Amino acid sequence: MRTATTVELSAGHAARETIDFVVESERMGLDVCWVAEAWGADAPSVLGHLAARTDRMLLGSGVIQVGIRSAVLVAQTAITLSNLSGGRFLLGLGASGPQVIEGLHGVPFAKPLVRVRETVEVIRQAFAGGKISYSGKQIHIPRPGGEAVPMRLSTRPEHRIPLYLATLSPAMLRLTGQLADGWLGTSFVPEGAETAYFAHLDEGLAAAGRNRSDIDICQGAEVAFADDEDTLRDMLAARKSELAFSLGGMGSASTNYYNQAYSRQGWSDAAAAVRERWHAGDRTGAAALVTDDMVLATTLIGTEEMVRARLAVWRDAGVDTVRLYPAGETLDARLSTLGRAIELVRQL
């Protein structure tokens, strides 16, 4: 497996510390660094800075949110970052959710599947270098009824730009199999992945005449090492609040892809109960409903032997790239955790 991580400038760490973390991660042998933007710092600005500070590792947008930039602007951004980094850029796209797309950016979230498909098709037109002309359900280039004619970009990609989709729902997974070079997943339980994820991904791959070896399966989880059972117990308790936020707060009351993913993997009752408590304003009660098994199944938390065994399960389930989110209160602590995890992956 390849090793990766994800950073975000607005995730509670100072900008300088985040950059230092990435630079040192490359020195330790990390293969890929993804940059998130969520509702904080934008990803492309950070990626441009990291391209100048690193030499070897791949750099990816994890993710650029579809719909808040024009498809052609996303293509221009990807080409620029790829050319500046010497071909080290990976374009990761995601639909996000109604709270961010509508609540923060003020653009419609309706029909995200159509929006993602059309965006990818326009981006690939732009990458190909010809005149861009597209008439879809949401995207029209040039705008109909005006005086404009199709144009081509004056810049060209000097390297191939792999395209990844961050998806969770069955329909989006099928689209990923049809169109993408890689899948950025989350809320991943390897024991339930065939039914919850891979069956849908494989449908899309088959429709495109491809198989699973044609796509990079990239999955992420927090990694933390516990020296004893008491430490592990405290770690699990702390993570329950974070998981409760994903199940209850990531999305609207009716649309939460994280909640749906956990439901498909055997926790439908617990996921529904957590969301209900969360939206009732009972954050503590919501966290109390999250079980130890729910945390352990979707993270890489435990003793070193537990983490090593879990990594082997991920590998055997078909994960090609493991995205490591190292725990730690300080830069040195996070780097130490990441270094231990990278070494365990190498041993596999």
Tell me the pLDDT tens digit for each residue of 54-79. Answer: 999 999 999 999 999 999 999 999 99
Amino acid at 204: G
Q: What is the DSSP string of 88-137?
A: -EEEEEE---HHHHTTTS----S-HHHHHHHHHHHHHHHHHTS-B-EE-S
Q: What is the pTM of this model?
A: 0.90
| 2-223+303-347 is classed CATH 3.30.70.940 | no
Q: Which residue has the higher pLDDT, 144 or 261?
A: 144
pLDDT of res. 11: 61
CA–CA dist 145, 231 (Å, integer): 65
Distances (CA, A) of 220 to 32, 175, 177, 256, 278: 12, 20, 19, 19, 24
Domain boundaries defined on the chain = 2-223+303-347, 227-302
C-alpha dihedral sign at 120, 260, 324, 241:
positive
Amino acid at 198: F
Residue 182 CB partners (closer than 8 Å, separation 6+): 90, 92, 162, 163, 164, 165, 215, 216, 217, 218, 321
Nearest CA among 320, 316, 340, 93 for reference residue 219? 320
Q: Which residue has the higher pLDDT, 261 or 344?
A: 344
Tell me the pLDDT tens digit for each residue of 85-108. Answer: 999 999 999 999 888 999 999 999
pLDDT of res. 131: 98
Tell me the pLDDT tens digit for each residue of 198-242. Answer: 999 999 999 999 999 999 999 999 999 999 888 898 888 888 888
